[in-house]
Amino acid sequence: MTDAASDPRGMARVLRAPATWALVALAALLVAGAVGSPGFLSVEMRDGRLYGTPIDILNHGSKVAIVAIGMTLVIATRGVDLSVGAVVAIASAIVATLVSQKGVAWPIAMAGALGAALLAGLWNGSLVTFLRLQPIVATLVLMVAGRGIAQLITDGQIVTVRDPAVAFLGNASLLLLPATVSALAVISALAWLGTRRTAFGLFLEAVGENERAARLSGIPVRPVLLVAYAACGLCAGVAGLIDCAYIRAADANNAGQLLELDAILAVVLGGTALTGGRFSLLGSVIGAMLMQTLTKVLYVFDVSADIAPAPKAAIVLAVCLLQSPTFRAACSRHLESARARLRPGTEARP
C-alpha cells in the first residue's frame, strides 16, 4: 500500500472517494462546534449511559440515517422515494392507534406498522416495475396520499402513547448508547450484509448503471427493484416507530415532514449520485450525521432554528460542488494556471 500523501495518484483517489468530502465537512463542523462551545466534544458516563453532544448527534441523527440507508438502495437503482415522510406518518399513526385506542399488544402493533410500511414500499416498487412509472411520479402518489391516509387512521388527532415498550426506542439505552443508535447499528449491519456479502449490491448497481444491460445479462431486474423499494419502505417504517417513541405520540400532520428531502440530501452528501450505480451505505450514514451535526453547531452559534436551513443549504451546495466533476475540472484548471504563473519557466503539468 502506498502512502496517500506522498503518492499524488493515491491522494487523488482519496479526494475522489465518495464520502471523503462529507467526512471533511463533518470534521470541520466538529472543530467549529468545539471552538464555539468548549464542552461540545465531551462525553460523560452517567447512570450506565453515555451523555454529551456527540451522543445527542448520534441519537437524533439516527432517524434520518435509517431512512437514508433505505433511500440509498433506491437511489442506487437510479430511483428516488419521495414517500418516506408519508410512510413515517403512516407507521407512527398505526402503532399509536393500535396500542392506545384499540388496546393491541405492542409487538403486534409494531409488526402491524412495519407490515404497512413494507406494503407501502412494495406498492411504490410495483408502480415502478410493473406500470413502468418514473420513480419520482410513482412515489409522488403515496407522498401526497400517504399523509392523508395517516390522518385518516388517527382521525386527524394527535394520538398519545403511554405504553413504555413503544416509547423504549426513543428514550431507553442499550449497551451505553441510546436505543435509536442500536437500531441504526442493526439496520446498517443488515443492509451491509445484504448488499456486500451477497450479489444483491452488485445487482442494484448494475440496474442503476444501465437497466437494459442488466436485464440482458440475466439480472432479475424486477425483483431487484421491488426489494429495493420494499426495503426503503421498511426503513421508513422503523423511522416511524422511532418518531412515535420520541414524542410518545403520533402526529400524522407533522411526523416525517420533509424527511424525504433530508434523507436524499444525506445520501447525496455521502457520495451516492442521484444518477444511480455505485452507492455507499457508510457515506449515507455519515451524510445524515453531518446534517445533524450542522444543526447542533448552528445552535451553538445561536442561529435560530427557523433561519438554520439557509446555512445548511450553503454547506450542502458546497459539498455537492466539490463532488461535481465539472466543478473540479474547472478548479484544477485554475490551479494549474495559477501554478504556471507563480513559477515562470516551468511548464504546467498536463
Partner 1 sequence: MKLRPRDLPLLVAAIVLVTAFAAGALRYDHFASVAVVRNLLVDNAFLGVAAVGATFVILSGGIDLSVGAVMAFTGVVVAALVERGGVHPGIAIAIALALGAAFGLLQGAIIRGFALPAFLVTLAGMFLARGMAFAVEPQSRPIRHPFVATTLNESATIALPLGETSTTIPLTVSIGAVTFVVAWFVLRQTPFGRRVYAIGDDLQGATVLGLPVAATTIAVYAISGFLSALAGVVFVLYQQAGDPTACKGLELDAIAAVVIGGTLLRGGVGSVVGTLIGVLIYGLIQTIITFEGTLSSWWTRIVVGALILAFVAAQRGLERVGRRLADA
Report the alpha-carbon distance of residue 249 to residue 93 in Å, rounded: 8
Residue number with CB closer to partner 1 (1 or 314): 314
Q: Which residues sit opposite 251 in a β-bridge?
A: 158
261 binds partner 1 (CB under 8 A): yes
Closest separation in Å from C-beta 152 to partner 1: 6
Sign of the C-alpha dihedral computed for residues 81, 83, 89 and 92 taken in this order: negative
Quote the cell numbers at residue 127: 408502480
**What is the per-residue binding string for partner 1 in 22-61, x denoting contact by CB under 8 A?**
----------------------------------------
69 binding partner 1? (CB under 8 A): no
When the beta carbons of 6 and 326 are compared against partner 1, the nearer one is 326
346 touches partner 1 (CB under 8 A): no
Distance CA 113, CA 94 (A): 5
* Of residues 327 and 348, the one with the C-beta less far from partner 1: 327
The least distance separating partner 1 from the CB of residue 305, rounded to whole angstroms, comes to: 9
Per-residue binder mask for partner 1 (CB under 8 A), 73-102, x = binder: -------x----------------------
Say how far apart CA 151 and CA 40 lie, in whole Å: 39
Supply the minimum distance, in Å, between the C-beta of residue 273 and partner 1.
8
Interaction of residue 125 with partner 1, rule CB under 8 A: no
Alpha-carbon Rg for the chain, nearest whole angstrom, is: 22
43/317 with CB nearer partner 1 = 317
Instruction: State the Cα–Cα distance between residues 299 and 23, nearest whole angstrom.
Output: 20
> Helix, strand, coil proportions of the chain in percent (round to 5)?
70, 5, 25
DSSP assigned state of 219: -
Considering only the stretches 28-36, 93-101, 319-327, 339-347, report the one whose residues sit in contact with partner 1 under the rule CB under 8 A.
319-327
Contact between 15 and partner 1 per CB under 8 A: no
CB of 323 to partner 1, least distance (A): 9
Q: How many residues in the shown chain lie near partner 1 by CB under 8 A? A: 47
User: By CB under 8 A, is residue 306 in contact with partner 1?
Assistant: yes
241 binds partner 1 (CB under 8 A): no
- Candidates 46, 326, 345, 349: give the one binding partner 1 (CB under 8 A): 326
Contact residue for partner 1 among 14, 137, 175, 202 (CB under 8 A): 137
Helix H or strand E segment including 159: strand 158-160
Selected from 22, 67, 264, 281, the binder of partner 1 by CB under 8 A is 264
Residue 254, interface with partner 1 (CB under 8 A)? no
Judge contact between 82 and 249, C-beta under 8 A: no
Residue identified by cell 431507553 is 172
Distance between CA atoms of 169 and 180, rounded to whole angstroms? 6
As measured in angstroms, the least distance from the Cβ of 140 to partner 1 is 6
State the nearest-atom distance from the C-beta of 258 to partner 1, in Å. 8
Determine contact, residues 33/52, Cβ cutoff 8 Å: no
> At 208, which amino acid appears?
G
The answer to whether the CB of 102 falls within 8 A of the CB of 306 is: no
Q: How many CA atoms lie within 13 A of 27 on its CB side?
A: 5
Between CA 252 and CA 117 the distance in angstroms is 14
294 binds partner 1 (CB under 8 A): no
Q: Is 136 in the site for partner 1 (CB under 8 A)?
A: yes
Strands in 41-90 per DSSP E: 43-46, 49-52
Rounded to a whole number, what is the largest CA-CA distance in the chain? 83
Binding site for partner 1 (CB under 8 A): 80, 127, 131-134, 136-138, 140-149, 151-152, 155-156, 261, 264-265, 268, 274-275, 304, 306-314, 316-317, 320-321, 324-327
